[in-house]
Amino acid sequence: MINIPKGTKDVLPQDAYKWHFIEDAARQTAAEFNLKEIRTPVFEHTELFLRGVGDTTDIVNKEMYTFKDKGDRSITLKPEGTAGVARSFLENGMSSGVLPAKMYYIIPAFRYERPQAGRLREFHQFGIEVYGSDKPDADAEVIFAASSFLNKLGVKNVKLNINSIGCKKCRADYNAALKGYLAPHIGEMCATCRERYEKNPLRILDCKEEECKKITAGAPRMTDYLCSDCAQHFNEVQSNLAAGGLEYEVDPNIVRGLDYYTRTVFEFVSQEIGAQGTVCGGGRYDGLIEELGGSHTPAVGFAAGIERLILLMENTGVPFPEESKPEVYFAGMDEESRKKAFALAMAARAQGIAAETDHMGRSVKAQFKYADKIGAKYVAAIGGNELAEGAVNVKRMADGFVQNVRFEDINGYIVQNRS
Ligand code: ATP
Ligand code: MG
Residue 391's pLDDT is: 98
- Ligand 1: centre distance to CA 124 (Å): 9
Residue 257 — pLDDT band, cuts 50, 70, 90? low
Q: Which atom of ligand 1 is nearest to the CA of 302?
A: 14
Nearest residue by C-alpha to atom 11 in ligand 1: 281
Q: Is residue 286 over pLDDT 90?
A: yes
Closest alpha carbon to 231 in 132, 130, 136, 129:
136
Question: Which H or E run contains 232?
Answer: helix 228-243
Cis peptide before 220 (omega within 30 of 0): no
- Ligand 2: centre distance to CA 396 (Å): 51
How much is the average pLDDT of 255-269?
86
The span from the CA of 174 to the CA of 191, in Å, is: 22
> Are the C-beta atoms of residues 174 and 203 closer than 8 Å to each other?
no
Residues in the chain: 419
65: exposed, middle or buried (Cβ count in 10 Å: 0-12, 13-18, 19+): middle
The span from the CA of 134 to the CA of 131, in Å, is: 9
The span from the CA of 296 to the CA of 286, in Å, is: 7
Q: Is residue 322 over pLDDT 90?
A: no
Q: Mind listing the pLDDT tens digit for each residue in 289-321? A: 999 999 999 999 999 999 999 999 999 999 999
Mutate to test the pocket of ligand 1, among 204, 253, 256, 278 (most ligand atoms within 8 A of CB): 278
Q: Mind listing the pLDDT tens digit for each residue in 132-179? A: 999 999 999 999 999 999 999 999 999 999 999 999 899 999 999 999
Binding site membership of 307 for ligand 1 (Cβ less than 6 Å):
yes
Least confident of 1-5, 51-55, 389-393: 51-55
Binding site membership of 80 for ligand 1 (Cβ less than 6 Å):
yes
Q: How many CA atoms lie within 13 A of 256 on its CB side?
A: 30
Ligand lying nearest the CA atom of residue 123: 1
Q: Which atom of ligand 1 is nearest to the CA of 279?
A: 20
Give Cβ neighbours of residue 306 (< 8 Å, ≥ 6 apart).
Answer: 19, 22, 23, 106, 123, 124, 125, 126
- Ligand 2: centre distance to CA 113 (Å): 8
Q: What is the dihedral of CA 51, 120, 40, 167, to 10 degrees?
A: -40
Residue 349's pLDDT is: 98
Closest alpha carbon to 177 in 202, 199, 196:
202
Binding site membership of 280 for ligand 1 (Cβ less than 6 Å):
yes
- Ligand 1: centre distance to CA 165 (Å): 19
384: exposed, middle or buried (Cβ count in 10 Å: 0-12, 13-18, 19+): exposed
Mutate to test the pocket of ligand 1, among 116, 207, 264, 276 (most ligand atoms within 8 A of CB): 276
Residue 255's pLDDT is: 86
Q: How many CA atoms lie within 13 A of 205 on its CB side?
A: 23
The full DSSP string for 313-355 is HHHTTPPPPPPP--SEEEEESSHHHHHHHHHHHHHHHHTT--E
| Identity of residue 106 | I
Least confident of 19-23, 210-214, 223-227: 210-214
Residue 221 — pLDDT band, cuts 50, 70, 90? very high
Binding site membership of 120 for ligand 1 (Cβ less than 6 Å):
yes
Closest alpha carbon to 123 in 68, 164, 88, 77:
77
Binding site membership of 305 for ligand 1 (Cβ less than 6 Å):
yes
The span from the CA of 77 to the CA of 81, in Å, is: 11
The full DSSP string for 183-221 is GGGGGGS-HHHHHHHHH-GGGGGG---HHHHHHHTTSPP
Binding site membership of 206 for ligand 1 (Cβ less than 6 Å):
no
Binding site membership of 57 for ligand 1 (Cβ less than 6 Å):
no
The span from the CA of 152 to the CA of 98, in Å, is: 29
The span from the CA of 248 to the CA of 159, in Å, is: 7
Cis peptide before 100 (omega within 30 of 0): yes
The span from the CA of 325 to the CA of 34, in Å, is: 32
Closest alpha carbon to 221 in 164, 259, 261:
164
Binding site membership of 392 for ligand 1 (Cβ less than 6 Å):
no
Summary mean pLDDT of the chain: 95
Closest alpha carbon to 260 in 52, 58, 57:
52
Residue 366's pLDDT is: 97
Binding site membership of 258 for ligand 1 (Cβ less than 6 Å):
no
Name the β-bridge partners of 265.
Answer: 163, 283
Binding site membership of 119 for ligand 1 (Cβ less than 6 Å):
yes
Residue 364's pLDDT is: 94
